[in-house]
C-alpha cells in the first residue's frame, strides 16, 4: 500500500510556523495528464483529483529559488538553490488547490529545514542545469533508493502562446486557469478530521509554452506512485521572475458530504 506521508509520528515542531518568501528566477511547469483513478490512488482522503477534459493532472515544477528566507528577513540572508516539486491539482470539498507528493533540492540545509518545518517532503538530489539563449538542459540524480531521476531539455526558442497539438487544453488561457491559478496547498491529517492548508500569494505569471525535446521523468513513469505508461506529457509552461510568499499554516475541518 502506498504511504501518503502524513505528519511524522511524535512530531513536535509545527509545520509552516512562519511566512516565507522567494523569487522563482526561471521556472518550468511540466504538466502530466493521467486517468483520474491513477492520481486518486496516491491522494490522501478527502482530496480528490480535479479533472479537465476527463483527465487528472500533476505538474513537475522545476525552479531556481532565489533568496529563500523568512518573510521578515532581508534578501541578503536568503538561500539560493534549485528545487523540483511534484504537485497534484486537487479539490478539497469545493476548493481547488495542490497537494505535494515530493520535492527535491540541491541544498542540504534547505532539505533539512524543509522536512522539519514544511509538508513538502524534501529529498537531497544532485542537480546540473545549463542555460543558453535558445535552450535549457536539466539533469537531476535522486537518491540511490529513489526512482526520481530527471533528464530534460527545454527549447526556449519555441516559447509561444500556442499549446501543443495533443494538449488537453484548447488555449494557453485555459491551461493557465487550470494549472497555474492555484493558491492553496492541502495536507490532510491522519485523524480524518482536519486538513492543513497553506495559502500563497505571488506576482502574475507571464505564461509561455515551450517544447520539451528531451523529457525523461522517472517518477512519472515506473515509480511506485506512477506505473509505466500511466501518465503522458501534456505541455510545458515557462515563466520568469515570479515573487512568492507562503503564509503560515491553518487547520480546517474536513468538508462533510451532504449525502
User: What is the CATH topology of the domain spanning 20-253?
Assistant: Acetoacetate decarboxylase-like (2.40.400)
The pLDDT, as a whole number, for residue 13 is: 52
Residue with cell 525523461: 216
Residue 184 near residue 198, CB atoms below 8 Å = yes
The pLDDT, as a whole number, for residue 145 is: 84
Residue 70 near residue 18, CB atoms below 8 Å = yes
Question: Where in the chain are the domains?
Answer: 20-253
At 170, list the grid cell. 484548447
Which segments in the chain show pLDDT lower than 70?
1-14, 255-259
Residue 11 near residue 249, CB atoms below 8 Å = no
Statement: the pTM of the whole predicted model exceeds 0.75: yes
Amino acid at each position: 500500500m502506498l504511504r501518503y506521508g502524513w505528519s511524522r509520528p511524535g512530531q513536535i515542531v509545527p509545520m509552516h510556523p512562519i511566512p516565507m518568501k522567494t523569487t522563482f528566477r526561471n521556472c518550468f511547469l511540466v504538466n502530466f495528464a493521467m486517468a483520474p483513478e491513477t492520481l486518486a490512488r496516491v491522494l490522501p482522503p478527502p482530496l480528490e483529483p480535479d479533472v479537465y477534459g476527463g483527465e487528472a493532472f500533476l505538474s513537475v515544477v522545476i525552479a531556481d529559488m532565489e533568496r529563500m528566507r523568512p518573510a521578515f528577513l532581508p534578501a541578503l540572508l536568503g538561500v539560493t538553490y534549485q528545487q523540483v516539486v511534484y504537485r497534484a491539482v486537487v479539490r478539497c470539498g469545493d476548493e481547488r488547490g495542490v497537494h505535494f507528493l515530493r520535492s527535491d533540492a540541491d541544498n542540504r540545509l534547505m532539505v533539512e529545514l524543509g522536512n522539519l518545518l514544511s509538508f513538502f517532503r524534501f529529498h537531497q538530489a544532485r542537480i546540473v542545469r545549463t542555460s543558453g539563449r535558445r535552450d535549457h538542459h536539466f539533469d537531476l540524480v535522486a537518491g540511490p533508493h529513489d526512482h526520481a531521476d530527471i533528464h530534460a531539455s527545454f527549447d526556449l526558442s519555441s516559447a509561444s502562446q500556442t499549446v501543443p497539438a495533443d494538449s488537453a487544453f484548447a488555449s494557453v488561457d485555459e491551461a493557465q486557469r487550470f494549472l497555474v491559478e492555484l493558491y492553496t496547498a492541502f495536507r490532510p491529517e491522519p485523524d480524518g478530521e482536519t486538513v492543513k492548508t497553506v495559502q500563497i500569494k505571488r506576482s502574475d505569471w507571464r505564461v509561455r509554452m515551450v517544447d520539451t525535446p528531451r523529457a525523461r521523468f522517472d517518477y512519472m513513469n515506473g515509480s511506485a506512485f506512477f506505473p509505466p505508461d500511466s501518465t503522458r506529457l501534456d505541455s510545458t509552461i515557462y515563466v520568469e521572475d515570479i515573487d512568492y510568499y507562503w503564509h503560515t499554516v491553518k487547520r480546517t475541518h474536513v468538508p462533510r458530504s451532504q449525502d
